[in-house]
Amino acid sequence: MDGSKGVVSEPGPNQLDRLRQAGSIAASVLREAALRVRPGVRSLALCEWVEARIRELGARPAFPCNIGIDSVAAHFTPTASDDVEITAGSLVKIDIGVELDGYITDTAVTLDMRSPHGYLVDVAREALRNVLGLLRGGLRVAEIGGVVYETATRYGCKPIANLSGHEIKRYNLHAGVSIPNIPTSDSQRLESCHIYAIEPFITLRDAPGLVVNSKIVNIFSVRDISLRARGLTPGEQDALKEIIDVSRGLPYTLRWLSERTAMIHQHLYRRGLVFGYPVLVEKSGAPVSQAEHTVIVYEDGCEVLTTG
């Protein structure tokens, strides 16, 4: 969706109400999901529970629930036939999004299954906490990256350099400004009354601190040009319409689609009519932790929307 639907001026009562509701639902579902995480639990069961719970509370998932175990940093959601289980000794990231009337909140937590690298959980949390205390309108995003980097290195860790937070607009999960996790020369500044997801990713000091694409792609989104594409068969047209209806232009996964549309989906993907998000893994296989909140920034601070 275009940026014209974003919160770009003083949010009205209805906008704030929707954002706060979405944030409260996200916080509640994430807390409940965390209680379900233990060795032997299937990722699929956990993700399906999260997505169903969001719907039960009157909202919709803004994207498929992400489960990242150890070096899997982002963009993994299980397929309907996936048998991936949470294992003892691992770090487990849960990243969820909630959409209510197009207003989106995004939040994540890392859980320690008695990993030898459990300290990464605390470092990510502290980095997030330190950034939240700094936020205000006019702040350079480069300063945020500096705070994450300083926090990580103080504890002998390293942030993931090529993962970042992001601005959020209505029906647009990744809009406009990116929020770095390392110091940069970026001159962009946070704007008052805009919505941002702040999400430090932390790994080991000796790791590259970079993520790379894996060959797994389970999350997709529809390209804006898709419905205007020439030469679509009636089946492809119907499939695209279903995808748009299910996703509202936001990321989706095949297990949300009918069997017929899921079968046609590969043709749409090969033609470039839908876009895939490869699972991102730490380059050396090092474990990664994550902590995330969505905030609305004001001139003199911020409101954390996903604390519930």
Concerning whether 292 is annotated as a catalytic residue, the answer is: yes
Q: Structural domains in the chain? A: 3-215+284-304 (3.90.230.10), 217-277 (1.10.10.10)
Query: Residue 82 has which token pair?
Result: 């996936």
The C-alpha atoms of residue 296 and residue 124 are separated, in whole angstroms, by: 20
Average pLDDT of the segment spanning 59-74:
99
Q: Which residue in the list 70, 99, 242, 292 is annotated as catalytic? A: 292
Concerning whether 174 is annotated as a catalytic residue, the answer is: yes
Q: Which residue in the list 95, 126, 236, 242 is annotated as catalytic? A: 95
Concerning whether 199 is annotated as a catalytic residue, the answer is: yes
Confidence of residue 223 (pLDDT cuts 50, 70, 90): confident
| pLDDT for 2 beyond 90 | no
User: What's the pLDDT score for residue 229?
Assistant: 74
Q: Which residue in the list 106, 126, 242, 282 is annotated as catalytic? A: 106
Concerning whether 101 is annotated as a catalytic residue, the answer is: no
Report the mean per-residue pLDDT for the chain.
Answer: 94
- Reported in sequence order, the residue ranges of 257-298 that DSSP labels E, i.e. its strands, are 274-282, 289-290, 293-298
3-state secondary structure of 274: strand
User: What's the pLDDT score for residue 230?
Assistant: 76
Concerning whether 186 is annotated as a catalytic residue, the answer is: no
| Spatial contact of 73 and 201, defined as CB atoms under 8 Å apart | yes
Classify residue 207 by its DSSP letter.
S
Q: Which residue in the list 117, 166, 194, 293 is annotated as catalytic? A: 166
Task: Tell me the per-residue pLDDT of 161-203, one tens digit each, with 9 for 90 and over.
Answer: 999 999 999 999 999 899 999 999 989 999 999 999 999 999 9
Concerning whether 267 is annotated as a catalytic residue, the answer is: no
Task: Find residue 175's DSSP bridge partners.
Answer: 167
C-alpha dihedral over 20, 22, 25, 28, to 10 degrees?
-60
The C-alpha atoms of residue 179 and residue 190 are separated, in whole angstroms, by: 9
Average pLDDT of the segment spanning 119-128:
99
Q: Which residue in the list 17, 82, 143, 174 is annotated as catalytic? A: 174
12 Cβ contact partners less than 8 Å away, ≥ 6 residues apart: none
pTM: 0.94
| pLDDT for 100 beyond 50 | yes
Average pLDDT of the segment spanning 26-32:
99
Q: Which residue in the list 51, 199, 236, 242 is annotated as catalytic? A: 199
